[in-house]
Amino acid sequence: MAQIGYSKEVMEHFMNPRNVGVIESPDGYGKVGNPVCGDLMEIFIKVNDNKVDDIKFRTFGCGSAIAVSSMVTEMAKGQPLEEAMKITRKDVADKLGGLPPQKMHCSNLGADALHAAINNYWVKIGKIKPEEVKTEEGHDGEEGESCET
């Protein structure tokens, strides 16, 4: 199967993903999926001193989804929660050196799962109420998107 224009960074994070695994009893947990292509991402965080002290991910999906998960965990590790919440889908794709257009939806899932994990923590500690959690738009996939490559 031919590569479809993946950057060296995408290939590196796909072949050698960082922060893979599960944190037992995490402080925050986020899970998002894309029903169109079947990708599913879970992010687990441990928080210390209002910073992302530890972060792990479990992803079921294509190589881009794995690379995005790996990169978003690297970007968030050690960051204050407020800063980690500012990590956007575009930030993740840019840090990976870009993604092919048909894979951009994969970058949505990484940021969304991170934000979901932080929101989950904030609800647990009473910083926000469950009804204040904003759900991310656009991780349902665009028609015709698939992660077959």
Would you name the residues annotated as active-site residues?
A: 37, 106
CB 40 within 8 A of CB 33: yes
Phi, psi torsion values for 69, nearest 5 degrees: -60, -45
Tokens of 54: 């530890």
- Cβ burial of 104 (10 Å; 0-12, 13-18, 19+) is middle
